[in-house]
Amino acid sequence: MSSKPASCNLTVIRSTDLERAAIFYERLGLTLTKHRHGQGPMHLAHETESHTFEIYPLTDTHSPTSSTRIGFAVESVDTVFEDLIDLGAVGTSPPNDSDWGRRAVVTDFDGHRVELTSR
């Protein structure tokens, strides 16, 4: 067993509408670019030095990922939450102080619950 702990470096979700998903996640603060690996489907990716977040199209051959909960650290939970609500997302849990800092949960257009936190 390695002495170095594992770290998450890839998150993949699926969307019924990539353009609509891009609007949500770009409003959240991600920079999405179009990618295609070989003959695979066109998808969106936000890449940092240590993590890649991808949005693939949801097709009949794949299961929805809407039960996946995703979390993002943002500069201002209140501002991002309001921006996403104004966009048409559903507020699941309004901004509130918690043991993890300021926190809120919003549901994206495909049903993914997205947790926002800031300290």
11-49 pLDDT tens trace: 999 999 999 999 999 999 999 999 999 999 999 999 999
Domain boundaries along the sequence of the chain: 10-118
Q: What pLDDT score does 3 carry?
A: 79
**Alpha carbon separation from 115 to 34, 38, 39, 90 (Å, rounded):** 24, 33, 33, 12
Closest CA to 85 of 116, 52, 118, 50: 116
Name the architecture of domain 10-118.
Roll (3.10)
pLDDT band at 100, cuts 50/70/90? confident
Contacts 24+ apart (CB under 8 A), 58-64: 58/14, 58/15, 58/16, 58/110, 62/14, 64/14, 64/110, 64/111
pLDDT band at 4, cuts 50/70/90? confident
pLDDT band at 2, cuts 50/70/90? low
Question: Across all residues in the chain, what is the average pLDDT?
Answer: 95
Name the H helices within the chain. 18-28, 77-87
The answer to whether 100 and 118 are in contact (CB under 8 A) is no
Whether the per-residue pLDDT at 1 is higher than 80: the answer is no
